[in-house]
């Protein structure tokens, strides 16, 4: 079993002690970085290779931090004026996908 295959099998078992520790440390490291930063190498080389990434001049990887979850309407004290149809505050869906939002940063 080669290195890429080994990494692929490792990522299939997300509850293993090794991967849980690795993901926890990585999560902490990413939080310490700026919202948009250039990564020196991919986090998962096996998956990057499968998606067509080649480590050569001109190809770069940027990591961006994106707010997750629903969109809350920015209104004062949660009061929306007008008809009840447009009075929602919490259950709004953001119209752009996460990938599109990342591309615009």
Task: Convert the pLDDT of each residue in 15-68 to its tens digit.
Answer: 999 999 999 999 999 999 999 999 998 999 999 989 888 888 988 889 998 888
More confident residue, 1 or 64: 64
Residue 97 pLDDT: 86
pLDDT at residue 16 in the model: 93
Which residues on neighbouring strands pair with residue 71, listed in sequence order? 92
pLDDT of residue 79: 83
Residue 78 main-chain phi, psi, to 5 deg: 70, 20
DSSP 13-30: -TTSHHHHHHHHHHHHHH
Nearest by Cα to 23 from 5, 11, 35:
11
| pTM score of the predicted model | 0.69
Helix (H) or strand (E) holding 48: helix 45-50
Average pLDDT, integer, range 89-103: 84
């Amino acid at each position: 079993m080669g290195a890429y295959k080994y990494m692929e099998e490792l990522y299939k078992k997300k509850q293993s002690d090794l991967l849980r520790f690795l993901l926890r440390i990585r999560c902490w490291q990413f939080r310490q970085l700026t919202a948009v930063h250039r990564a020196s190498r991919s986090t998962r080389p096996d998956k990057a290779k499968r998606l067509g990434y080649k480590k050569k001049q001109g190809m770069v990887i940027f990591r961006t931090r994106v707010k997750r979850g629903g969109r809350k309407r920015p209104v004062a004290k949660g009061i929306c004026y007008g008809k009840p149809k447009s009075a929602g505050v919490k259950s709004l869906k953001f119209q752009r996908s996460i990938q599109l939002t990342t591309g615009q940063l």
